[in-house]
């Protein structure tokens, strides 16, 4: 198995996190960012969109981080990470889709608007709007955690990975932010997982003020 994608890329971290949770062995090719390579014809054969992550398993290239998460869980992690029951599985899928289409765009607006923008070019109004949206999203997570221990049920599953990946940077990019109580407790439990510590809780200062890639 091979994974293409630099370890500091948000979407790559989701996949690295799951690969480690599953204890899978793989060759890691740190493509993208300063490593480049995404325009190479050989890479575009793997992913016509020229983005990371890309997983190659048994000769099949798979792109789109959430498609990769589902593929890995289906092959190597079901039912623990992705339940077989359609209703239970759909709870996982809902949180994954919500994270990709709703939380992540606002989180990225905040991360890029604040952290990846050189200070003199920052737009405080835009940063504040994105911060409020993120606060609202984490409050929504907080409300749901009143009913279950993790987003997809009472145990850790795929549902936790996309939203959970955003939290380390949210809390450590230098903004004055805090999480509501149940979300903070969920985050604390994620930080006790070795795979989360190794793959998500990593320095990202090389991205500060860097507008490219
Ligand atoms: N929706 C795609 C987004 C992929 C994406 O935008 N990846 C970024 C890294 S997070 C990328 O390839 N950026 C170019 C680079 O790193 O050079 C996914 O979830 O995989």
- In the chain, where does the domain assigned CATH 1.20.1050.10 lie? 86-199
Question: Given the CA of residue 52, which atom of ligand 1 is nearest to it?
Answer: 12
Question: Given the CA of residue 14, which atom of ligand 1 is nearest to it?
Answer: 19
Q: Which residues line ligand 1 (CB under 6 A)?
A: 6, 9-11, 32-33, 38, 51-53, 64-65, 213
How far, in Å, CA of 186 to CA of 79, rounded? 21
Contact 6, 31 (CB under 8 A): yes
Which residue lies with its CA nearest to atom 2 of ligand 1? 64
Tell me how many degrees the CA angle 70-198-175 measures, rounded to the nearest 5. Answer: 95
Contact 72, 24 (CB under 8 A): yes
Share of the chain above pLDDT 70, in %: 100
Which of 167-176's residues contact partners 24+ apart within 8 Å by CB, and which partners?
168/200, 168/201, 169/10, 169/107, 169/111, 169/115, 169/204, 170/107, 170/110, 170/134, 170/138, 172/204, 173/110, 173/111, 173/114, 173/115, 174/114, 174/115, 175/110, 175/114, 175/131
Find where tokens 């955003």 sit.
166
Which tens digit of pLDDT belongs to each residue from 18-48? 999 999 999 999 999 999 999 999 999 999 9
Ligand 1 center from residue 147 Cα (angstroms): 33
Question: Stretch 69-87: mean pLDDT, rounded?
Answer: 94
Which tens digit of pLDDT belongs to each residue from 156-198? 999 999 999 999 999 999 999 999 999 999 999 999 999 999 9
Contact 111, 169 (CB under 8 A): yes
Ligand 1 center from residue 210 Cα (angstroms): 15
CA dihedral 81, 86, 88, 93 (to 10 degrees): 70
Ligand 1 center from residue 148 Cα (angstroms): 31
- In the chain, where does the domain assigned CATH 3.40.30.10 lie? 2-77
Ligand 1 center from residue 146 Cα (angstroms): 33
Q: Name the residue of 16, 46, 52, 212 to mutate for ligand 1: max ligand atoms within 8 A of Cβ.
A: 52
Ligand 1 center from residue 51 Cα (angstroms): 5
Residue 67 has a pLDDT of 98
Q: How would CATH label the architecture of 2-77?
A: 3-Layer(aba) Sandwich (3.40)
Question: Could you tell me how many residues make up the chain?
Answer: 213
CATH class (in words) of the domain with range 86-199: mainly alpha
What's the whole-model pTM score? 0.97
Contact 79, 173 (CB under 8 A): no
DSSP state of 99: I
Banded pLDDT at 117 (limits 50, 70, 90)? very high
Tell me how many degrees the CA angle 152-13-142 measures, rounded to the nearest 5. Answer: 35
């Amino acid at each position: 198995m091979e994974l293409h994608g630099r370890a500091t890329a948000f979407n790559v971290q989701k996949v690295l996190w799951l690969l480690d949770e599953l204890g899978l062995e793989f060759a890691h090719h740190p493509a993208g960012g300063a490593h480049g390579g995404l325009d190479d014809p050989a890479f575009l054969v793997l992913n016509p969109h020229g983005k990371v992550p890309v997983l190659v398993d048994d000769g099949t290239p798979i792109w789109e981080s959430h498609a990769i998460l589902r593929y890995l869980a289906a092959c190597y992690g079901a039912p623990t990470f992705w339940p077989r029951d359609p209703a239970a599985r759909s709870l996982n899928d809902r949180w994954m889709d919500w994270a990709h289409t709703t939380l992540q765009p606002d989180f990225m607006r905040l991360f890029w608007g604040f952290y990846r923008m050189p200070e003199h070019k920052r737009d405080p109004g835009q940063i504040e709007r994105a911060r409020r949206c993120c606060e609202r999203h984490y409050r929504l997570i907080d409300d749901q955690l009143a009913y279950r221990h993790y987003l997809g049920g009472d145990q850790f599953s795929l549902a936790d990975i996309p939203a959970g990946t955003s939290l380390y940077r949210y809390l450590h990019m230098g903004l004055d932010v805090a999480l509501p109580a149940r979300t903070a407790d969920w985050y604390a439990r994620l930080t006790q997982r070795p795979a989360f510590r190794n793959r998500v809780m990593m320095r990202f200062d090389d991205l500060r003020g860097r507008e490219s890639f």
